């Protein structure tokens, strides 16, 4: 189906923002060129009722206030860079510590806060952006492109491509907050994550470098369980996440999906596949109460993020770190498939 476009207001700087609607089979996805934001994702519940399964806003101004990166593309670096500094090629780079003293999700003005160039290639929406050398302190002119495809089977895929003119680091993700009931909390959602270990964090949510086995901990999602089952457990790691999950899961690399989220209430299932090695489970522990689309309420534990990524700790580990060099092509793909029982 052709992509429908509609004006979505303007940024405070006066740039027009456009909403692109991808529709295929039973699923419809609205993407803004502002931040590549997935603004709405509607799938039919078991009873046929349409459910909007992502958090979002009705106005650009609310997105610009940026409390929570709702649905947005994240770059150049997903998650945190401790003390806003990293070593690369024998020198130190200082990046913006927008959540002092650390960088979070790209810096002061990350990819979420730019209006991207949009083009349509048949049924595919392609967003592109040029991040100049030194942007937020990161080296290299980075040309980045994210393609959004929606298959007849209800799968939204995001294909991330990038090139640089200087050696750099790059960790891109999307920050959609999912709630398969379209409201309320996500504690009754059942979640499977194919990970035998997760990265330990300190009180600043900075990885310590240690991977911990999930077995016999609240972090064991190897078999599907309710998100709320162990979330109140007395556990130092959950406490660091403001009593919730805010951790990188080390994907086991076994065949099949990285994660499966299911709502017994609506019968909807989200299946996540990815070429990336890690997945950040964030259960919205720090999401403040506020109004969203159409006056809907959102807040703490009202949705969860499944952010596919390189390990945040890799910024300090040359053996794990995603480095992009001139002449190389960066490509990662993540799929979100929506089905109903």
Quick note: the x/- pattern for ligand BGC over 1-40, rule CB under 6 A, is: ----------------------------------------
Query: CA-CA-CA-CA torsion for 148, 292, 278, 262, nearest 10 degrees?
Result: -90
Q: From the candidates 105, 129, 175, 247, which is the catalytic residue?
A: 175
The overall longest dimension of the chain from CA atoms, in Å, is: 59
Backbone conformation region of residue 136, classed left if phi is above 0, alpha if psi is from -120 to 50, else beta: left
Q: Is 286 in the site for ligand BGC (CB under 6 A)?
A: yes
| Rg of the chain on CA atoms, in Å | 19
Helix (H, G, I), strand (E, B) or coil at 84: helix
Q: Name 61's Cβ contacts closer than 8 Å, sequence gap at least 6.
A: 9, 12
Contact pattern for ligand BGC over residues 233 through 262, marking x by CB under 6 A: -------------x----------------
**Is position 307 an interface residue for ligand BGC (rule: CB under 6 A)?**
yes
CA distance 273 to 336: 7
* Residue 289 is among the residues annotated as catalytic for this protein: no
C-beta closer to ligand BGC: residue 32 or 150: 32
Interface with ligand BGC by CB under 6 A: which range of 45-53, 249-257, 268-276, 280-288? 280-288
State the burial class of residue 319 (Cβ atoms within 10 Å of its Cβ: 0-12, 13-18, 19+). exposed
Nearest CB to ligand BGC, comparing residues 20 and 160: 160
Q: Please give the backbone phi and psi of residue 64, each rounded to the nearest 5 degrees, phi first.
A: -65, -30
240 catalytic? Reply is no
Among all chains, which residue has been given the structure tokens 């040359």?
318
Our finding on whether 205 is near ligand BGC (CB under 6 A) is: yes
Asked if residue 160 lies in contact with residue 182, where contact means CB atoms within 8 angstroms, the answer is no
126 lines the binding site for ligand BGC (CB under 6 A): no
**Nearest CB to ligand BGC, comparing residues 119 and 210:** 210
Closest approach of ligand BGC to the CB of residue 236, in Å: 16
Residue 69 touching ligand BGC (CB under 6 A): yes
- By CB under 6 A, which span of 180-188, 216-224, 279-287, 332-340 interacts with ligand BGC? 279-287
Kindly tell me which residue out of 39, 171, 237, 280 binds ligand BGC, with binding defined by CB under 6 A: 280
Residue 200 found at the interface with ligand BGC (CB under 6 A): no
Tally of CB atoms within 10 A around 147:
17
Cis peptide before 101 (omega within 30 of 0): yes
Q: Does 148 bind ligand BGC (CB under 6 A)?
A: no
Residue ranges binding ligand BGC (CB under 6 A): 68-69, 79, 205, 246, 280, 282, 286, 305, 307
| Positions marked active-site | 175, 307
């Amino acid at each position: 189906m052709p992509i429908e476009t509609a004006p979505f207001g303007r940024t405070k700087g006066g740039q027009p923002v456009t909403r692109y609607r991808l529709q295929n089979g039973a699923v419809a996805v609205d993407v803004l060129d502002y931040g590549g934001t997935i603004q709405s994702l509607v799938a039919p519940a078991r009873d046929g009722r349409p459910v909007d399964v992502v958090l979002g806003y009705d106005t650009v101004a609310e997105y610009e206030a940026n409390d929570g990166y709702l649905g947005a593309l994240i770059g150049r670096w997903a998650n945190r860079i401790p003390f806003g500094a990293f070593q690369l090629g024998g020198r130190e780079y200082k990046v913006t510590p927008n959540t002092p003293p650390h960088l979070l999700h790209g810096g002061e003005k990350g990819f979420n806060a730019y209006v991207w160039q949009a083009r349509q290639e048949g049924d595919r929406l392609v967003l592109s952006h040029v991040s100049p050398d030194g942007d937020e302190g990161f080296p290299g002119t980075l040309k980045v492109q994210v393609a959004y495809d929606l298959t007849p089977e209800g799968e939204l895929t995001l294909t991330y491509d990038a090139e640089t003119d200087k050696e750099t680091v790059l960790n891109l993700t999307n920050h959609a907050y999912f709630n398969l009931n379209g409201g309320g909390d996500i504690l009754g959602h059942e979640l499977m994550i194919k990970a035998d270990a997760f990265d330990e964090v300190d009180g600043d949510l900075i990885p310590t470098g240690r991977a911990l086995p999930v077995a016999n901990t609240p972090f064991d999602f190897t078999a599907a369980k309710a998100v709320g089952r162990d979330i109140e457990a007395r556990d130092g790691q959950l406490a660091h996440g403001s009593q919730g999950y805010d951790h990188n899961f080390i994907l086991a690399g076994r065949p099949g999906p990285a994660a499966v989220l299911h709502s017994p209430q609506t019968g909807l299932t989200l299946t996540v596949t990815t070429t990336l090695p890690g997945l950040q489970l964030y259960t919205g522990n720090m999401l403040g109460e506020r109004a969203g689309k159409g006056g809907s309420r959102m807040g703490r534990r009202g949705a969860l993020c499944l952010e596919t990524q390189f390990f945040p700790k890799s910024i300090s580990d040359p053996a794990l770190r995603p480095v992009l060099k001139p002449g190389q092509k960066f490509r990662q793909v993540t799929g979100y498939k929506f089905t109903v029982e």
